Amino acid sequence: MQSPMNQRVYFTILIYLNEGKEDVFRSYENQASSLIRKHGGRIELAIKPEEVTGGLDLPDEIHVLSFATEGGFADYRADPESRQLAPLRAESVEKAVYLRGHIV
Domain spans of the chain, in order of start: 4-101
- Output the pTM of the full model: 0.89
Q: Report residue 56 CA to chain centroid gap.
A: 18
- Give the separation between CA 95 and CA 17, rounded to whole angstroms: 7
Q: What pLDDT, on a 0 to 100 scale, did the predictor assign at position 1?
A: 47
Q: Tell me the HSE value of 51 on the side-chain side, using a 13 A CA sphere.
A: 1
Residue spans of the chain under pLDDT 50: 1
Contact 84, 17 (CB under 8 A): no
Domain 4-101 annotated CATH 3.30.70.270: no
